[in-house]
Amino acid sequence: MSSSELHSLGLTEVVANLENGILIVTLKSSRKMNSFTEKMSHDLIRVFRWGDVDDRVRVIVLTADPKVPAFCAGADMQEILKGSALLGRQEENEDEHRDPGGQVALAIYNNRKITIAAVNGHASGSGFTSLQLPFDFRFIWAGAHITLPFLRLGILPESTSTYLLSRLVGESRATSILLSNAKMQPSSPNLSSLYQEILPNKDDVLPAALAFAKMIAINSAPVSVSYTKGLLHHPGTSIEENHLLDSRAIKRRGASKDGAEGLKAFMQRRSPNFPDTVSSESSSWYPWWKPRDVSHPNKSKL
């Protein structure tokens, strides 16, 4: 895909720019407080999929317009009252609904590039579940209020958050976070381990995330990143099976052009220039797991 295609994605709720291998996606919704809408979900899915396949992209950073107090104030309640797809009120059968927040979470979680959330404002509902949990790294303003109103609204935590949060902080802490209805801050004992860095000033969040992204973009081989994320997200069912996956991955990467360049750069004490690309990494082995199509109800019923 060319750079012109990035600008022709038809994005209206987010703005995207590619700078030195870092794709910066900024929530800039026309709705109050960057509320999560069906259109925003489509925009985010589209831009993260674009970043996944474009080899110029090394890292994807999501942040919000700093002039808006909220990073994301959760689902747009006015849209829901009008019959939005956000709560599954458009389908006749239960197994036909596909949670838009969950679709966004999957586009981020399954992305082969490094993903970073730079949370520079308050976050409620989807602003925590779909726009923080599926990322590889999270930077956040210490003064941000995190609110999960699901149970008070008679619904439940969405965006695959019950799966992701338990994996990230453990079941006990995830239970406390999701069932307590509490308003929390990033320094909460249950939450703090989620974050790579908690910044005292709101304006420092994005620069810190970008500095970290730049370091990763320069020093990490994209294909090795994708393999490592695959092993983290799709491990074997036992340590022995994981050993087999590790061994094959190490063999493939060790024999690659990246492996040769990494060793040479190390010996020459310089930054590496990795030649292998994610788009060219297709084989009968990778991915070693069977991806499940969740976009079509007829193909993915439970």
Q: Which fold has domain 3-218?
A: 2-enoyl-CoA Hydratase; Chain A, domain 1 (3.90.226)
Cβ atoms 216, 58 nearer than 8 A: yes
Q: In tens digits, what is the pLDDT along the chain, a chain of 302 residues?
A: 445 577 778 898 999 999 999 999 999 876 678 989 889 999 999 999 999 999 999 999 999 998 888 999 988 877 777 766 666 656 667 777 788 899 999 999 999 999 999 999 999 999 999 999 999 999 999 999 999 988 888 888 889 999 999 999 999 999 999 998 888 999 999 999 999 999 999 999 999 999 999 999 999 999 999 999 999 999 999 999 999 999 999 999 999 999 999 999 999 999 999 999 998 876 778 899 988 888 766 656 65
Q: Is the pTM of this model over 0.85?
A: yes
Same fold, 3-218 and 221-299: no
Counting beta carbons within 10 angstroms of the beta carbon of residue 28, is it exposed (0 to 12), middle (13 to 18) or buried (19 or more)? middle
Structure tokens at 123: 């976050």
DSSP one-letter string for 94-155: GGG---HHHHHHHHHHT-SSEEEEEE-SEEETHHHHHHHTTSSEEEEETT--EE--TGGGTS
Structure tokens at 14: 């987010």
Q: Which fold has domain 221-299?
A: Lyase 2-enoyl-coa Hydratase; Chain  A, domain 2 (1.10.12)
Q: Which amino acid is located at 208 in the chain?
A: A
- Beta-bridge partners for 25: 16, 62
The Cα–Cα gap between 32 and 241 comes to 49
Structure tokens at 229: 């994320």
What does the domain layout of the chain look like in residue ranges?
A: 3-218, 221-299
Q: How many helices (H) and strands (E) does the chain have?
A: 11, 10
Angle at 222 between CA 196 and CA 4, to 5 degrees: 100
In the 8-state DSSP scheme, what is residue 75? B
